[in-house]
Amino acid sequence: MRRSLLFIPANSPAMLQNADVFSADAVIFDLEDAVDLNEKDAALLLLDQFLNTFELKGIEKIVRINQVDSPYFTRDLKYIVNDRIDTIMLPKANLENTTQLAKTLTQIEKQTCMSVPIRIIPIIETAQSVIEMNEIAKIARVNGLLLGGEDLATDLEVERTENGQEIFLSRSLLILAAKAQKIDAIDTPYTHTKNEKGLIKDALQAKSLGMNAKACIHPNQIDTVNQLFSPSQEEIEYAQKIMNAYKKAKENHKGAFSIDGKMIDKPIIERADKILEKAKIWNLL
């Protein structure tokens, strides 16, 4: 269960060493866009050494590998796929290359006798991947979809704007695809790292549509994202009120009950239960 995912360039020793200091739910060690072509080899070796040396506890370890059609894809998997990481993030994902990655991971895991399967977060950043999202989300290893707003806008040949009108449809479709498979809907990063008001507005818009997490490109965005994508104190208290009333109704063999004059049915109970589950995981109770 995620709220914030922080991108960390794999060629930055300082950022790597502070990976578990930040309060993000997940860190994304980036071997792709954040690394220049002439530093690809050094970044991979640095990340490999870092993961061999440091054990990061209580945080999801994700690696954004290079594209499937790049000369670095096979090399990345050779060094990265092991029990030291949890998830691989696939750039320029589509149905074909996500399926290919899933099969390759199965082969590597069998050959190396890995104990836990690696999950996949495809980045939805092309028109093709938007069209194929529903099928991508059904792949067993996929446990989240990340919207890549900047590259998607480029592929759509439109300008990326503050109000996000150009990605509104893609955002909505990604949410539907993710929620239908009970996996995370992860929003695109907000690129203006010093504009907190803009970040808040962008995150709240995404949350209102159904996004449950957001990628971050700077540590100063994490606390804001965590707060906005966590249940509020009012939501937690009302959820507790619902579950307490539900418990009493069951004890008295009542099928229906109301709170403050409002009838409480199964969907409302399920939502309250999920809010309390999140609050427990993130120590908000």
Each residue's pLDDT tens digit, 114-162: 989 999 999 999 999 999 999 999 999 999 999 999 999 999 999 999 9
pLDDT higher than 80, residue 255: no
Q: Tell me: do 122 and 31 sit in the same domain.
A: yes
Q: Tell me: do 219 and 242 sit in the same domain.
A: no
- Phi, psi (5° rounding) for residue 213? -155, 165
Q: Tell me: do 241 and 160 sit in the same domain.
A: no
How many distinct structural domains can be found in the chain?
2
Q: Tell me: do 202 and 251 sit in the same domain.
A: no
Cβ-Cβ contacts under 8 Å for 185 (sequence gap 6 or more): 144, 145, 174, 175, 178, 179, 210, 211, 212, 213
Which of 203, 228, 253 is the C-terminal boundary of a domain? Answer: 228
Q: Tell me: do 191 and 62 sit in the same domain.
A: yes
Q: Tell me: do 187 and 65 sit in the same domain.
A: yes
What pLDDT score does 132 carry? Answer: 98
The two structure tokens encoding residue 160: 């990326």
What pLDDT score does 261 carry? Answer: 87
Which of 184, 209, 228 is the C-terminal boundary of a domain? Answer: 228
Alpha carbons within 13 A on the beta-carbon side of 45: 4
pLDDT higher than 90, residue 22: no
Q: Tell me: do 118 and 90 sit in the same domain.
A: yes
Q: Tell me: do 128 and 15 sit in the same domain.
A: yes
Are the CB atoms for 28 and 64 separated by under 8 Å?
yes
Which of 208, 228, 248 is the C-terminal boundary of a domain? Answer: 228
Distance from C-alpha of 162 to C-alpha of 153, rounded to nearest angstrom: 12
CATH number, domain with residue 210: 3.20.20.60
**pLDDT above 90: percentage of residues in the chain:** 89
Amino acid found at 266: K
**Helical spans, DSSP H, in the chain:** 13-17, 40-53, 73-80, 95-112, 127-137, 149-156, 168-180, 196-209, 222-228, 233-251, 266-281
Q: Tell me: do 149 and 273 sit in the same domain.
A: no
Q: Tell me: do 248 and 210 sit in the same domain.
A: no
Task: Give the predicted TM-score (pTM) of the model.
Answer: 0.94
For range 234-253, the mean pLDDT:
92
Confidence band for 254, pLDDT divided at 50, 70 and 90: confident
Mean pLDDT of the chain: 95
Cβ burial, residue 116 (10 Å; 0-12/13-18/19+): exposed
Confidence band for 30, pLDDT divided at 50, 70 and 90: very high
Q: Tell me: do 122 and 62 sit in the same domain.
A: yes
Alpha-carbon torsion, ordered 140, 92, 95, 155, to 10 deg? 140
Q: What's the domain range around 191?
A: 4-228
Q: What is the pLDDT of residues 190-232, one digit of tens each?
A: 999 999 999 999 999 999 999 999 999 999 999 999 999 999 9
Q: Tell me: do 29 and 126 sit in the same domain.
A: yes
